Amino acid sequence: MKPDLLLKELYQKNTEELLGKNIKLCGWIRSARHQKTFSFLALNDGSVFHPFQVVIDDSLTDYQDLVSKLNTGCSVCVEGELVQSPGKGQSIEMKATNVTLLGACPEDYPLQKKRHSFEFLRSIAHLRPRTNTQGSVARVRSRLSFAAHRYLQERNFLYLQSPIITASDCEGAGELFQVTTLPLTNIPTTDDNKIDFKQDFFGKATYLTVSGQLNAESYACGLSKTYTFGPTFRAENSNTSRHIAEFWMIEPEVAFNDLSDNIDLAEDYLKYLINDILENCPEDLEFFDKFIEKGLIDRLQKIKDSSFERLSYTKAIDLLLNSKKSFQYEVKWGCDLQSEHERYIAEEVFKKPVVLTDYPKEIKAFYMRDNDDGKTVAAMDVLVPRIGELIGGSQREERLDVLEEKIKQTGMPVENYSWYMDLRKYGSVVHSGFGIGFERLVQFVTGIENIRDAIAFPRAPKTAEF
């Protein structure tokens, strides 16, 4: 049954090697042009952007009957000889000698050959991998994931699979999805009328993780260079084109790295990833450049060759205060930057990635290292044009007494973090790390406007289909 090779493998061979060969291919018909005595099929198996041209003629038995069923969306297996193509757009095509219709496709197939809105395609997320855009997004995303691992593995980072279910709130922002087996219609309570989590599956309140960082720190503080790359969950009720409730995050964590080493790593890593996609997904990028974001390839090329701007939060606030642009959200020292501020800095002021550092401690997570000024922490956010915040990270607080005080200030139960504090009690080291939002990275390299199109089956408020 199976094809001799995928289209990607076919396109990797040179024409001379292929001409005259008989091969078998399988895939879906993207479009078909039927004439009286011959037909052209654009076949794609999704392994590459460009479909492959298959020509059939009436020397095939039951030609008329066969082609009447060969329409957009149906699946076929074709066998035949590879010949030089007289048409433009391809150097070779197949002259089919055998065509098997695997699965017919009725006329109500929603992906007829025309442009569909992204919104509509989201409502048929199970079929959208057959579209040009989602096919390209899926291939770039897969390659990005491979390159993300590769960069770190080749530099001796250890891949840690951190837990999905956790009792700690890494970001301390309370945006947690509860995990429980308590009966929701009859929740057990304690004598003082609180939920009795002792009766819950884990004997305590547990959640889906918002970040693998705390566990990554444990491994970095023993195995030096580590990373996690997994799904993370946030119950943020924000319906923006940059937020989803389930997203993937790459989180490198490195012992003995200070903030500046951390920024160097983030910059080098991002450039490597961009370069990898430029080299390995040229056809998908050309498609995005033409139909999604004009000038995309040029933008990526420039970023790869640029050096990222480094700037303190305080200087960024000055820039915003002195700008002529009017913002929806008020700017003052101490405020959390909104996407409009981040994009203004990266897109309009510097026109390249900007690393902002040393944020006010009140707006950042408890684990970030206090700076000597008593007001700021050793935080770093990488802001990029079009997206805003792509990476968030910091140097970690390695001093036990300072960390304990910071946890207390959040009001979270200190006993949940006793293991985390042990990392400071026993052989503490300076260490740093960051998290790259993987879907935002996909948006960044493809130009895709809405994050819900950068992941196969998006999860967002009131959205958990498929």
User: How many other C-beta atoms are found inside a 10 Å radius of the C-beta of residue 249?
Assistant: 24
Interface pick for Mg ion out of 392, 433, 447, 458 (rule CB under 5 A): 392
In the window 373-402, what residues touch ligand 4AD (CB under 6 A)?
389-393
Query: Which one of 39-47, 78-86, 110-118, 391-399 is the stretch in contact with Mg ion (CB under 5 A)?
Result: 391-399
**Shortest CA distance to 44 belongs to which of 32, 31, 27?**
27
Does position 454 interact with ligand 4AD (CB under 6 A)? The reply is no
Sign of CA dihedral 278, 283, 289, 295: positive
Q: Determine, following the binding rule CB under 6 A, whether residue 458 of this chain makes contact with ligand 4AD.
A: no
User: By C-beta, is 54 or 125 nearer to ligand 4AD?
Assistant: 125
Both tokens of residue 251? 């989180």
Site string for ligand 4AD, 434-453 (x = CB under 6 A): xx-x-xx-------------
Distance CA 3, CA 26 (A): 6
Q: Which is nearer to ligand 4AD, 433 or 447 (CB)?
A: 433
Which one of the spans 111-119, 141-149, 162-170, 385-393 is the region binding Mg ion (CB under 5 A)?
A: 385-393
Widest CA span in the chain: 84
**Three-state secondary structure of 229-296:** EEEEECCCCCCCCCCCCEEEEEEEEEECCCHHHHHHHHHHHHHHHHHHHHHHCHHHHHHHHHHCCCCH
Shortest Cβ 123–ligand 4AD spacing (Å): 21
Give me the least distance between CB of 387 and ligand 4AD, in Å please: 8
Q: Kindly identify the residues of this chain, within the stretch 229-288, that bind ligand 4AD according to CB under 6 A.
A: 234, 236, 243-244, 247, 249, 251
- Give yes or no for a contact between 29 and 71, defined as CB atoms under 8 angstroms apart: yes
Residue list 158-177, contact with ligand 4AD (CB under 6 A)? 170-171
**Nearer residue to Mg ion within complex by CB, 71 or 262:** 262
Owner of token pair 């090329």: 301
DSSP 337: P
Of 241 and 314, the one with the shorter C-beta distance to ligand 4AD is 241
| Residue with token string 């430029």 | 278
Which residues contribute to the site for Mg ion (CB under 5 A)? 392
Which residues contribute to the site for ligand 4AD (CB under 6 A)? 170-171, 211, 213, 234, 236, 243-244, 247, 249, 251, 389-393, 433-435, 437, 439-440
